[in-house]
Amino acid sequence: MTEKTGNKSDPGPINLEDITCPTREQRANGITAFNGKASELVERSKAGGLRNCERDFQQNAGCILNFYLTVRVATIRDAVMIIHAPVGCSAPAALYREVYRRLYSAMNGPQDFDFHWLTTNIGEKDVIYGAADKLRFAIEEAGRRHSPEAIFILTSCASGIIGEDVEGVVGELKGKVKATLVPIHCEGIRSRVVQTGYDAFWHGILKYLVREPRKRQKDLVNVASMLSYTWQDKIEITRLLAKLGLRPNFIPEFATVEGFRSLSEAALTAPVCPTYTDYLSRGLEQEHGVPYFLYPSPIGIANTDEWLRTIGRMLGKEKEAEGAIREEKARWVPKMDQIRAGFEEVKKANGGDFRVMGSLGQGRLVTQTPFFHELGVSTPVALCQDFDDLLLEDVENLLERVGDFDIVVNTFQAAEVAHTARKYDPDMILSCPFQGSAYKREKGMTRIHALRGDGRKWSAQAGYAGAVACGSFLLQATRNRAFQNVMLEKTEDPYKDWWYRQPDPYFFHNKAAGGGS
């Protein structure tokens, strides 16, 4: 049994005969620009009236190679990552130590792993004559140096533009190197919707790594978790599943190659982020009969209840799920009541309301917004880095739960985020370094999430412990203004006053392209 949520019009079967996936634009009408009511976004999406639009001015964009994949694939413990690109495309490697350094004191498993990655360093001559020899050498060198179980080959704009025959090199070396070779077609020029990078990765996993099931492991649950969920979230999800007699198969960060191979043997695929899990979940069901659901995710008390209930219902563990929910709520709901009481005091001092602007990806849009309502705070506007049809039905259900709100679909355009922040002037803005920020403001500002490498308990977001930790963090952010005051005193506003005075954050948006505000 599979409980499918999202758009009722199925995106169609996954074709593993193809070298890679369709883009999110092709598969689910993905867009990266919209400004208006969430209800309008839903209606226009259902009517087929949404498509990507042009900006006359764009500050940056998300790269499906670098932003979403390298920082994850590099952590697979018994594998090597090869970036088939100019050396600059491996720049995120400089972040790995910083992002993950706190894990060494938090992990409950082996701590002697290291990150293994190579770049083929495509140059000008290679763009003319091809870089197959460099790729071949890099694969052989990776095998010689590290004896990995798998070698992931990540393509780039440069290798895509010259039409590099990556599959030809892989076929030539198959059997000559011990490792399983897994090409991932994540050329940045393929798609403006960075979530295409997720799908490209899972396509390679399904095509090259997942084996035919040797046996069905009735206690195993696949959990594809995001970079923005921390080690404490992993601990919490493991703890909750254990109450149902289940154990998680966490992928992709810090997984083993065997963990990917055994995805087909799980009893269920359960989401932490529904949009991240979508392609893998559909592929595992299609190819190997592994059931899945996409929503809800275990964020907030109510959604964690339903996450456990759905797992229990699909695996015949309803009794265990209800018992776990009773026990957990007896422990954690009183703490959430205290947090809500704290926000009530904040609201009284603030004229009766406290408005929060948050979310980032689609997954956070449909989980973070109801969590704000659990805390007793309002959400006048939500940011979403992209939007597609895959979660359309879930956004409709969200509107029924919390009412209508404004939404700005925006992929890392800091000026538009700053404009939105000034326009709505919420009491608290949640942002992250990848999104663009607006720290110089009189009212509150803090982070949306910690990163995987933050092993401290207060960095949790998932499950009951995460709901309390995240709620406590947000409440504390209303009381401590030290960082805010430093930013106000020491930094200049990056944008001119005219930018904030004009009414539309999509001032540089070519509306004739057929979408947007």
What confidence score (pLDDT) does residue 7 get?
Answer: 40
Residue identified by tokens 């948050």 is: 358
Give yes or no for residue 400 having a pLDDT over 70. Answer: yes
Give yes or no for residue 196 having a pLDDT over 90. Answer: yes
- Confirm if 352 and 377 have CB atoms less than 8 A apart: no
Examine the domain organization and report whether 475 and 331 are in the same domain.
yes
Q: How far apart are CA 223 and CA 277, in angstroms?
A: 8
Give yes or no for residue 1 having a pLDDT over 50. Answer: no
Q: Is residue 131 part of a domain?
A: yes
Q: How far apart are CA 39 and CA 207, in angstroms?
A: 38
Q: What percent of the chain has pLDDT over 70?
A: 91
Q: Is residue 255 part of a domain?
A: no
Q: How confident is the model at residue 192 (pLDDT cuts 50, 70, 90)?
A: confident
Q: How far apart are CA 202 and CA 208, in angstroms?
A: 10
Name the strand (E) or helix (H) holding 240.
helix 231-242
Give yes or no for residue 514 having a pLDDT over 80. Answer: no
Residue that terminates a domain, selected from 135, 159, 190 = 190
489-514 exposure pattern, b = at least 16 Cβ within 10 A, e = fewer: eeeeeeeeeebeeeeebbbebeeeee
What DSSP string runs through 138-202? HHHHHHHHH--SEEEEE--HHHHHTT--HHHHHHHHBTTBSSEEEEE---GGG-SSTTHHHHHHH
Q: What percent of the chain has pLDDT over 90?
A: 58
Give the lowest-confidence range in 195-204, 238-247, 354-363, 370-379. Answer: 354-363
Give yes or no for residue 114 having a pLDDT over 80. Answer: no
Q: How far apart are CA 457 and CA 266, in angstroms?
A: 29
Across the strands, what pairs with 217? 266
What is each CA distance from 68 to 62, 109, 321, 432, 471, in whole angstroms?
8, 25, 33, 15, 27
Number of domains observed in the structure of the chain:
2
Q: Is residue 140 part of a domain?
A: yes
pLDDT, tens digit (0-9, with 9 covering 90-100), for 46-96 = 888 777 777 888 887 778 888 778 888 988 989 999 999 999 998 877 777
Residue that terminates a domain, selected from 133, 166, 190 = 190
- pLDDT, mean of residues 132-139: 97
- Confirm if 506 and 516 have CB atoms less than 8 A apart: yes
Radius of gyration of the chain (CA): 23
- pLDDT, mean of residues 495-500: 90
**What SS3 state is found at 477?**
helix
What DSSP string runs through 21-50? PPPHHHHH--BSEEEEEHHHHHHHHHTT--
Task: Between 431 and 191, name the one with better pLDDT.
Answer: 191
Q: Is residue 59 part of a domain?
A: no
Q: Is residue 278 part of a domain?
A: no
- Confirm if 272 and 223 have CB atoms less than 8 A apart: yes
Q: Is residue 226 part of a domain?
A: no
Tell me, what CATH number does 382's domain have? 3.40.50.1980
Give yes or no for residue 438 having a pLDDT over 80. Answer: no
Give yes or no for residue 436 having a pLDDT over 60. Answer: no
What confidence score (pLDDT) does residue 175 get?
Answer: 87
Length in residues, the chain: 517
What confidence score (pLDDT) does residue 331 get?
Answer: 97
Q: Is residue 251 part of a domain?
A: no
What confidence score (pLDDT) does residue 225 get?
Answer: 78
What confidence score (pLDDT) does residue 97 get?
Answer: 66
- pLDDT, mean of residues 496-504: 88
What confidence score (pLDDT) does residue 516 get?
Answer: 44
pLDDT, tens digit (0-9, with 9 covering 90-100), for 278-329 = 999 999 999 999 999 999 999 999 999 999 999 999 999 999 999 999 999 9
- pLDDT, mean of residues 28-40: 90
Q: How far apart are CA 410 and CA 417, in angstroms?
A: 8
Domain that holds residue 472: 318-513
Q: How confident is the model at residue 452 (pLDDT cuts 50, 70, 90)?
A: low
304-324 exposure pattern, b = at least 16 Cβ within 10 A, e = fewer: bbbbbbbbbebbebeebbeeb
- Confirm if 284 and 290 have CB atoms less than 8 A apart: yes
Give the lowest-confidence range in 57-61, 139-143, 508-512. Answer: 508-512
Q: How confident is the model at residue 134 (pLDDT cuts 50, 70, 90)?
A: very high
Q: Is residue 281 part of a domain?
A: no
Q: Strand 117-119 vs strand 79-83: parallel, antiparallel, or unpaired?
A: parallel
Residue that terminates a domain, selected from 161, 190, 219 = 190
What confidence score (pLDDT) does residue 364 get?
Answer: 86
